[in-house]
Amino acid sequence: MGPEERIVIDPDVLVGKPVVRGTRLAVEFIIDLFAQGWAERDVLQNYPGLTKEDIQACFAYASRTLKAERVYPLERAA
């Protein structure tokens, strides 16, 4: 199964957010875990339904989405 088949969007699951197929784990949730400093092994241990390929698919989906979106700079803290 390729990355594009691992991420699905269903309006009845998490209000249509992209999720890993067969789970209710949103792509943004998986990316946020890594942003918080989780290692791949931590994610896989805590979410045994996920595979390394699922995680890679989340990053690939996020990358493609960012390339296709208009990006706005974050405001700097004073």
Whichever domain contains 53, its CATH number is: 1.10.10.10
Q: Tell whether 16 is covered by a domain.
A: yes
Q: Which residues, in sequence order, are bridge partners of residue 8?
A: 19
Q: Total domain count for the chain?
A: 1
Q: Tell whether 36 is covered by a domain.
A: yes
> pTM for this structure?
0.84
**Structural domain of 10:** 3-68
Q: Tell whether 39 is covered by a domain.
A: yes
Q: Tell whether 7 is covered by a domain.
A: yes
pLDDT, tens digit, 9 for 90 and up, residues 8-45: 999 999 999 999 999 999 999 999 999 999 999 999 99
pLDDT, tens digit, 9 for 90 and up, residues 41-63: 999 999 999 999 999 999 999 99
